[in-house]
Amino acid sequence: MGAKKIFTTPATPAGKPVTLNPKLARRTFLKIATAAAGLGGLALSGKLVRKAQAKEAKTPYPGSKIVRTICTHCAVGCGVYAEVQNGVWVRQEIAQDHPISRGGHCCKGASAIDMVRSEKRLKYPLKREGGRWKRISWEQALDEVCSKLLEIREKYGPDAVHWNGSAKVSTEMAYLQRKLAAFWGTNNIDHQARI
């Protein structure tokens, strides 16, 4: 049997084994992975997480109504049932009977309600001044952005700006973004899904 190989560096005493990643060794990783798998198994078995009862999942909020609509993220138009209470979108379900999506939609459609309800949603313009975000008026935001864009266009021409679309906007908004680039005088527009 061969001798055990020991690696040394000038920073370690001779004869001491060197761990390539001291923060997470292979054995530690395997212990953590085993514990995570065990907890996952417990969760799936119903020991940690309780499955929602049919009554809980299907009981509408008091005074709410179900609005049949479509997801606006792309041109597919998957079906969504939005539950609305006092003008507020409170819950959504996939439209199982929709002729196009046939009871399914992508992760963007599944999170469509977050565009409206998320606490991280930007609700007013912010400007970074001195390393901190400061709330500014819509008028100030539009004036500053438009002035800077016009300055760039006058100095470098319309092709100096690249317009970039987003998978988080509706089909109609994507059309308007393309029209804006055309009115600006450039073909420099793309969609983030192709980058």
Question: What pLDDT, on a 0 to 100 scale, did the predictor assign at position 195?
Answer: 40
Rounded to whole angstroms, the Cα distance separating 5 from 15 reads: 10
Dig out the tokens for 98 from the structure: 């929709």
> Maximum distance among all alpha carbons in the chain?
79
Q: How far apart are CA 30 and CA 40, in angstroms?
A: 15
pLDDT reported for residue 43: 61
- Note the CATH architecture for domain 64-117: Single Sheet (2.20)
Q: What are phi and psi of 153, to 5 degrees?
A: -65, -45
Reported as a single tens digit per residue, the pLDDT across 75-98 is 677 888 888 888 888 888 888 888
Highest mean pLDDT among 60-64, 95-99, 101-105, 153-157: 153-157
Burial (CB count within 10 angstroms: exposed 0-12, middle 13-18, buried 19+), residue 89: middle
Of the listed ranges 54-58, 75-79, 103-107, 117-121, the least confidently predicted one is 54-58
**Distance set, CA 96 to CA 66, 69, 74, 76, 92 (Å):** 14, 12, 19, 15, 12
Which residues share a beta bridge with 69? 80
* Closest by Cα among 142, 178, 120, 11 to 19: 11
Which residue from 81, 84, 79 is spatially nearest to 105, judged by alpha carbons?
Answer: 79
CATH 2.20.25.90 positions along the chain are 64-117
Q: Decide if 73 contacts 42 (C-beta within 8 A).
A: no
Which pLDDT tens digit goes with each residue over 132-189? Answer: 999 999 999 999 999 999 999 999 999 999 988 876 677 788 889 899 999 999 999 8
Q: Which pair of tokens denotes residue 83?
A: 């539950």
Chain position carrying tokens 């793309």: 190
Type of residue found at 80: V
